[in-house]
Amino acid sequence: MDQMHEIKPGQSIDLLKELHILTRDGKLNQDSRRKLKQVNHLVQFIAPLLDEVLAQQPAIALVDHGAGKSYLGFLLYDLLFKARDDASHIYGIETRADLVLKSEQLAARLGFGRMSFLNLSVAQSGTSDAMPAQVDVVTALHACNTATDDAIHFAIAKQAKFIVLVPCCQAEVASVLKKNKSTARARDALTEIWRHPLHTREFGSQVTNVLRCLELEAHGYQVSVTELVGWEHSMKNELIIASYRNLPRQRPAERLSEVLQTLGLEEMAPRFLAPHAETVAAHATLVT
pLDDT digits (tens, 9 = 90+) for 3-50: 556 788 888 999 999 988 888 888 887 777 887 888 888 899 999 999
CA distance 1 to 18: 25
CA distance 200 to 172: 11
Q: What is the pLDDT of residue 273?
A: 85
Q: What number is the average pLDDT over the span 225-239?
A: 69
Pairing relationship of beta strands 238-244 and 162-168 according to DSSP bridges? antiparallel
CA distance 11 to 5: 12
Whether the pLDDT of residue 234 is over 50: the answer is no
Q: What is the pLDDT of residue 130?
A: 94
Q: Given CATH 3.40.50.150, say whether it is the number of domain 1-169.
A: yes
For the chain, the domains span 1-169, 170-219+247-277
pLDDT digits (tens, 9 = 90+) for 100-135: 999 999 999 999 999 999 999 998 999 999 999 999
CA distance 18 to 105: 11
Q: What number is the average pLDDT over the span 270-283?
A: 60
Q: What is the pLDDT of residue 101?
A: 98
CA distance 156 to 116: 21
| Helix segments in 55-171, DSSP class H | 71-76, 97-110, 122-125, 146-157
Q: What is the pLDDT of residue 131?
A: 95
Residues in the chain, overall count: 288
pLDDT digits (tens, 9 = 90+) for 126-167: 999 999 999 999 999 887 768 899 999 999 999 999 999 998
pLDDT digits (tens, 9 = 90+) for 194-216: 889 999 999 999 999 999 999 99
CA angle 74–122–167, rounded 5-degree value: 75
Q: What is the pLDDT of residue 208?
A: 93
Is 137 within 8 Å of 160 (Cβ atoms)? yes
pLDDT confidence band for 247 (50 / 70 / 90): very high
Q: What is the pLDDT of residue 288?
A: 39
